[in-house]
């Protein structure tokens, strides 16, 4: 069964850092691009970052560029999101998803909640 | 990155059909055949229901269909069922970025 499981969320103060993980199973992780998408409480989906299978191409939304870093460890079938200089508006559930082609984001993990508050 | 524009809400009675629009620009929806749609129930992760404008993944009901014309994509659901009540999001690839619509809440009356 193809599965993605996020972890690492929690409560952090403004200006702090947090590292999210996304553990993949059931497929050849290195063969797929992956994305991070977030959803603020009661709001819609917002793309955060994309990374190709071999990490040769990494892209970020303007809202997180320079503060967030996406990486992956194909040997561990894991995706990471290092979040620095966190702000209140980064509060959201963060999802990881597998990418096939350019528009097939499937499956998604269950999400992990990040709360930025003093 | 600008969000795609969706109506905030639509509704329909069981058995009826509804259509949700998603409007972008020539830089996203109009420029690529990479539009997808996601269904999200409360407290759950989004689920892919349409990819590459009009393709259904295995296991998704054929009551769901979609198309694109110019800068606007559309999702149609026929034979509405109670289980279709959810929020629907469109998405488009655009120049190494991804845009999502604001979401449309479907209420089955």
Neighbours of A23 (CB within 10 A): 16
Q: What is the pLDDT along chain B (109 residues), one digit of tens a residue?
A: 568 999 999 999 999 999 999 999 999 999 999 999 999 999 999 999 999 999 999 999 999 999 999 999 999 999 999 999 999 999 999 888 999 999 999 999 9
Q: Are strands B104-108 and B9-12 parallel, antiparallel or unpaired?
A: parallel
For residue B83, give the 3-state DSSP assignment: helix
Q: Which residue of A has its CA nearest to B53?
A: A103
* CB environment B21-39: b (16+ within 10 A), e (fewer): bbbbbeebbbebebbbbbb
Taking CB atoms and an 8 Å cutoff, what residues of chain B touch A106? 47-48, 51, 57
β partners of residue A49:
A36, A60
The reply to whether B83 touches chain A by the CB within 8 Å rule is no
Positions in chain A short of pLDDT 70: none
CA angle B20, A62, A54 (to 5 degrees): 90
What's the rounded Cα separation, in Å, for the pair A118 and A106?
A: 35
Taking CB atoms and an 8 Å cutoff, what residues of chain A touch B99? 47
What is the per-residue pLDDT across A94-108, written as a single tens digit (0 to 9) for each?
999 999 998 999 999
pLDDT at B3: 83
pLDDT at B28: 92
Q: Residue B100: which of A44, A50, A110 has the nearest Cβ?
A: A44
**Cβ–Cβ gap B89/A105 under 8 Å:** no
The reply to whether B94 touches chain A by the CB within 8 Å rule is no
């Amino acid at each position: 069964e193809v599965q993605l499981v996020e972890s690492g969320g929690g409560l952090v103060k403004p200006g702090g850092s947090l590292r999210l993980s996304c553990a993949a199973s059931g497929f050849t992780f290195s063969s797929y691009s992956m994305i991070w998408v977030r959803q603020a409480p009661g709001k819609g989906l917002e793309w955060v970052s994309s990374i190709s299978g071999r990490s040769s191409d990494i892209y970020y939304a303007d809202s997180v560029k320079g503060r967030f870093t996406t990486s992956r460890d194909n040997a561990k079938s894991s995706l990471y999101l290092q979040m620095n200089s966190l702000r209140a508006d980064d509060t959201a559930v963060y999802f990881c998803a597998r990418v096939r082609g350019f528009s097939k984001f499937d499956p998604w993990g269950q999400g992990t909640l990040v709360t930025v508050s003093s | 990155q600008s969000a795609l524009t969706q109506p905030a809400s639509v509704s329909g009675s069981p058995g009826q059909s509804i259509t949700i629009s998603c409007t972008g620009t020539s830089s996203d929806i109009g420029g690529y055949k990479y539009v997808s749609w996601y269904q999200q129930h409360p407290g759950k992760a989004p689920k892919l229901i349409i990819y590459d404008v009009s393709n259904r993944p295995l296991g998704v009901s054929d009551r769901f269909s979609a198309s694109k014309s110019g800068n606007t994509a559309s999702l149609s659901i026929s034979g509405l069922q109670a289980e279709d009540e959810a929020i629907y999001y469109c998405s488009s690839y655009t120049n190494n970025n991804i845009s999502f619509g604001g979401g449309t809440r479907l209420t089955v009356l």
